[in-house]
Amino acid sequence: MRTNPWFETVAEAQRRAKKYLPSTVYGALVAGSERGRTIDDNLSAFAELGFAPRVVGHHAERDLSTTVLGVPTKLPVLISPTGVQAVHPDGEVAVARAAASRGVIMGLSSFASKPVEEVAEANPDTFFQLYWSGSRETMVQRMDRARAAGAKALIVTLDWSFSNGRDWGSPAIPEKIDLKAMVRLAPNVVPRPRWLWKFVKSGRIPDLTAPNLRPPEGGDAPTFFGAYYEWMQTTPPTWEDVKWLREEWGGPFLLKGVSRVDDAKRAVDAGVTAVSVSNHGGNNLDTTPATIRILPSIAEAVGDQVEVVLDGGVRRGGDVAKALALGARAVMIGRAYLWGLAANGQAGVENVLDILRGGLDSAVLGLGHASVHELTPDDLVIPPGFTRTLGADTRTAASDIA
């Protein structure tokens, strides 16, 4: 009997993705760095927070819409940019279409497997993500291309250390899919024939290149590892470099990867429009606290000056409500939509967004509000010692980065 393609929870999408994907592909999605303490805390911390529901005074209609970086969205959930999406032949284009169908903003990684022109055409509300990688001239060219394609904002990710050390082992990812790689990966792929068959029907093999990093003068796009090597060879940025990037882009600018109050204040001084409280989904420095624990301190410090979004561990609409109550304007999701994409393509991503919408709506209803903008810490049961404040004693003046 064929399984119903619709699923009721993100957890079910994950279970289906695990059954469908080759073990190496699935392993690349779920594994955190080192012990995996941060990825575990990202998830468990949400469960430590409780709701304080109201019994009377509920609203028959609830408004879940907001704006992020000036762009309207029907749901305070953004598609977080993730690299090469080899879970489905349509990759980021399918995700962009799903997000557009639900009125949600699409985040596109510069390491994506689909070009920004195709993704922005599928979803006009696309934000382009950039790493500090390559020369300044190269980064300007990449920003110019994204701007020309219609990207409405720039996401700059600076928290990436890409730890390969995992206690359960790192999945073997080839630099490119050729005959030699196919033979080596066959034991993982053969037991998952449906995944391979979808690529065969599409007329293409999993693409591990990054077309958004193709040189403007022509030539081949680098592989993911080629792009990674470029990043490794680039001198890490200073706050002055962040300010330069923001000025070169000249539009809405989100700095992703903030976990410290002093960094958040420096970001404000550099002129960013928004910050994302993020620990790279547990793939950066392990034992970094869950983002929901450090969100309140950052929102309190800079939330009246820039927009604050949260990234990490969101699996339910209730998680979205908790993040908004603690000061986030919206959340970003990564693994959740990738599991939906693996489980059922574009419809699977739409399914995940519908699940989050339903859960958020239920929370807003039960808490007695008419809008997501009414959520506050008073709606939550916050246990003693739940929050973490990092880097709160240092305040650097704007003149220091000028």
Cα-based distances in Å from 13 to 285, 349, 384: 27, 10, 33
The whole-angstrom separation of Cα 59 and Cα 245 is: 44
CA-closest candidate to residue 127, choices 218, 229, 252: 252
Q: Phi/psi of residue 111, each to 5°?
A: -95, 15
Contact between 277 and 327 under an 8 Å Cβ cutoff? The reply is no
The yes-or-no answer on residue 59 being catalytic is no
Of the candidates 58, 59, 88, 280, the residue annotated as catalytic is 280
CA-closest candidate to residue 297, choices 337, 271, 259: 259
b/e sequence 381-400, b meaning 16+ C-beta within 10 Å: ebeeebbbbbbeeeeeeeee
b/e sequence 208-233, b meaning 16+ C-beta within 10 Å: bbbbbbbeeeeeebbbbebbbebbee
3-state secondary structure of 24: helix
The whole-angstrom separation of Cα 245 and Cα 252 is: 11
Q: What is the DSSP string of 347-402?
A: HHHHHHHHHHHHHHHHHHHHTT-SBGGG--GGGEE--TT-----S-S----GGGG-
- Give catalytic residues, as residue numbers: 280
